[in-house]
């Protein structure tokens, strides 16, 4: 969503906190050994890492729900709610609420994924009481006043309108629609040009009342706060929420037929390509093997098979990557790239062939060893600030990995054998592909764009 001036001021005010946070967790491994399970007097549970290196507190939390709780005729309700929770609460209108945040350099944000409504907060230790108090107001007494609601609506509609002419956005939306059909996962999480105008304050209030509850809440706190104080702060922020959420049941999703390809004409310089297929659940015993194979194939570094084959050898694209995406009711691998219209067919054929090769043959022992080494070394580098560490701890909770997962992770990586990697490679990348291309028709690619 486009950041308003008020939101920009809030984020800018918090920037000085980011630099000292880099030194907070000097060794993530030692911090991992200090992860505590805290349960407040009111029964709110959180994972806590206490570290007084700098006087900063970071918290990440999530409620089950997300955009999967949007109704079919009003996609975007969850994101709209998230974007307006901090636009005034209780006796504080939007301006007064943000002035309180800005005065203390408190950063408070909300977002909606397909499965969760998530929140993040960062503040200096000395402002913790005010920060957690304001969070309580946002979660329990959001106002949804007409002025900020219409301002946020206008921004979301503007974004949605731009996405209708952005090939990357169009390809992404088409991919999810073809992958999941009528399932809630197929809906646009941020809404559409058609749905956003009809979402009203009553819809936002209803969404918040159904989703914001203690029984699905997961919390991670990292920073200069002890367990007793953290418990009191948790009760302040979350203690007044309803005990149970009132969620609409979401069925497991059935992925679309494979193989399948679609092309959407859009008069743009480059063709955007999205591709993917069903993958593997996070609790599957073969998940780590799949994660390692995915890293070898297209996991975002410059040494992946897709990068070498599609960019370095053939020069078809600037970048190409793919990732595993696991959700509550489905799991997929998904990738994307962009290329010239006259090279789109060759690009997709090259990607498909490389995925098939991995499915047929699996990785080599050398590739497996190098991927293990990289993934073990990069894990701790990814947890070098308090907000990053809190985000990771929250994800481990959402994935039901256990409070000792960081300590066990390298052992789980090392335990993956070449046979397991080849087995899971065939299981995931040997089944065909769903692909979506958005761009000019090949015969029009040599012509200048219409003015």
How large is the average pLDDT for residues 381-399?
93
**Residue 75 placed within a domain:** yes
> Coil, strand or helix: which one is 435?
strand
Q: Are residues 214 and 102 in the same domain?
A: yes
Q: Are residues 265 and 233 in the same domain?
A: no
Rounded CA separation 337/318 (Å): 8
Rounded CA separation 49/226 (Å): 9
**Residue 450 placed within a domain:** no
Domain with 302, as residue range(s), is 260-444
**Tally of residues, the chain:** 451
- Select from 107, 118, 99 the least CA-distant residue to 16: 107
Rounded CA separation 389/313 (Å): 38
Whether residue 132 is predicted with pLDDT greater than 90 in this model: the reply is yes
Q: Are residues 286 and 399 in the same domain?
A: yes
DSSP character string of 108-148:
EEEEE-SSEEEEEEEEEGGGHHHHHHHHHHHHHHB---HHH
How large is the average pLDDT for residues 159-174?
97
Q: Are residues 169 and 265 in the same domain?
A: no
**Residue 34 placed within a domain:** yes
155 phi and psi, to 5 degrees?
-65, -45
**Residue 174 placed within a domain:** yes
Domain closes at, from 181, 206, 238? 238
Q: Are residues 160 and 280 in the same domain?
A: no
Confidence of residue 9 (pLDDT cuts 50, 70, 90): very low
User: How much of the chain is helix, strand and coil, in % rounded to 5?
Assistant: 50, 20, 35
Asked if residue 173 lies in contact with residue 264, where contact means CB atoms within 8 angstroms, the answer is no
Q: Which of 23-27, 32-36, 351-355 is predicted with the least confidence, judged by mean pLDDT?
A: 23-27
Helical H segments across 15-48, by residue range: 18-21, 28-32
258 phi and psi, to 5 degrees?
-130, 150
- Select from 348, 362, 364 the least CA-distant residue to 314: 348
| E strand intervals along 127-259 | 218-223
Rounded CA separation 44/54 (Å): 25
**Residue 247 placed within a domain:** no
Give the Cβ contact number of residue 171 at 10 Å.
25
Q: Are residues 154 and 43 in the same domain?
A: yes
Whether residue 342 is predicted with pLDDT greater than 70 in this model: the reply is yes
How large is the average pLDDT for residues 262-290?
97
Tokens of 21: 């946070």
Q: What is the mean pLDDT of the chain?
A: 91
Q: Are residues 220 and 341 in the same domain?
A: no
Q: What is the CATH number of the domain that holds 71?
A: 3.30.830.10
The model's pLDDT over 299-315, given as tens digits with 9 standing for 90+, comes to 877 889 999 999 999 99
The model's pLDDT over 27-37, given as tens digits with 9 standing for 90+, comes to 444 555 589 99
Domain count, the chain: 2
pLDDT of residue 326: 97
391 phi and psi, to 5 degrees?
-60, -45
**Residue 221 placed within a domain:** yes
Burial of 381 (0-12, 13-18, 19+ CB in 10 A): exposed
Q: Are residues 292 and 156 in the same domain?
A: no
pLDDT of residue 30: 56
Rounded CA separation 292/117 (Å): 29
Helical H segments across 334-398, by residue range: 344-361, 365-381, 386-398
Q: Are residues 38 and 157 in the same domain?
A: yes
**Residue 187 placed within a domain:** yes
The model's pLDDT over 100-127, given as tens digits with 9 standing for 90+, comes to 999 999 999 999 999 999 999 999 999 9
Q: Are residues 191 and 293 in the same domain?
A: no
Whether residue 173 is predicted with pLDDT greater than 50 in this model: the reply is yes
How large is the average pLDDT for residues 27-49?
83
Confidence of residue 380 (pLDDT cuts 50, 70, 90): confident
pLDDT of residue 443: 61
**Residue 255 placed within a domain:** no
pTM (predicted TM-score): 0.90
Rounded CA separation 434/200 (Å): 36
């Amino acid at each position: 969503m486009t950041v308003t001036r008020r939101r920009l001021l809030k984020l800018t005010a918090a920037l000085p906190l980011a630099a000292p946070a880099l030194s907070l967790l000097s060794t993530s491994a030692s911090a991992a050994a200090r992860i505590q399970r805290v349960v407040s007097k009111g029964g709110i549970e959180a994972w806590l890492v206490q570290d007084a290196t700098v006087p900063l507190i970071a918290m990440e939390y999530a409620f089950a729900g997300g955009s999967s709780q949007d109704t079919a005729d009003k996609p975007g309700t969850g994101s709209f709610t998230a974007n307006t929770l901090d636009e005034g609460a209780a006796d504080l209108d939007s301006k007064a609420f943000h002035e309180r945040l800005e005065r203390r350099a408190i950063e408070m944000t909300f977002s909606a994924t397909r499965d969760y409504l998530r929140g993040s907060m960062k503040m200096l230790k000395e402002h913790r009481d005010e920060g957690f108090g304001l969070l309580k107001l946002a979660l329990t007494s959001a106002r949804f006043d007409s002025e900020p609601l219409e301002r946020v609506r206008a921004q979301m509609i503007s974004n949605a309108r731009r996405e209708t002419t952005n090939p990357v956005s169009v390809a992404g939306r088409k991919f999810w629609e073809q992958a999941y059909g009528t399932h809630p996962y197929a809906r646009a999480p941020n809404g559409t040009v058609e749905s956003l105008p009809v979402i009203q304050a009553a819809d936002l209030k209803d969404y918040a009342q159904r989703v914001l509850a203690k029984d699905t809440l997961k919390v991670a706190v990292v920073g200069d706060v002890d367990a007793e104080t953290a418990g009191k702060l948790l009760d302040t922020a979350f203690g007044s929420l309803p005990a149970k959420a009132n969620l609409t049941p979401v069925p497991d999703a059935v992925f679309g037929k494979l193989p399948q390809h679609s092309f959407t004409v859009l008069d743009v310089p480059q063709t955007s390509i999205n591709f993917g297929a069903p993958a593997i659940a996070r609790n599957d015993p073969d998940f780590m093997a799949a994660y390692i194979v995915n890293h070898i194939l297209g996991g975002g570094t410059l040494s992946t098979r897709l990068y070498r084959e599609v960019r370095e050898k053939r020069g078809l694209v600037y970048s190409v990557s793919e990732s595993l995406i696991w959700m509550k009711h489905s799991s997929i691998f998904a990738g994307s790239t962009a290329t010239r219209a006259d090279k789109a067919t060759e690009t997709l054929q090259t990607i498909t062939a490389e995925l098939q090769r991995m499915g047929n043959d699996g990785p080599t022992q050398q590739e497996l060893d190098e991927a293990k080494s990289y993934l073990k070394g990069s894990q701790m580098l990814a947890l070098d600030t308090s907000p990053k560490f809190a985000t990771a701890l929250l994800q481990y909770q959402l994935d039901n990995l256990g409070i000792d997962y960081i300590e066990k992770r390298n052992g789980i990586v090392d335990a993956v054998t070449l046979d397991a990697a080849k087995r899971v490679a065939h299981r995931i990348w040997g089944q065909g592909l769903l692909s979506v291309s958005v761009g000019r028709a090949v015969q029009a690619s040599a012509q200048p764009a219409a003015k």
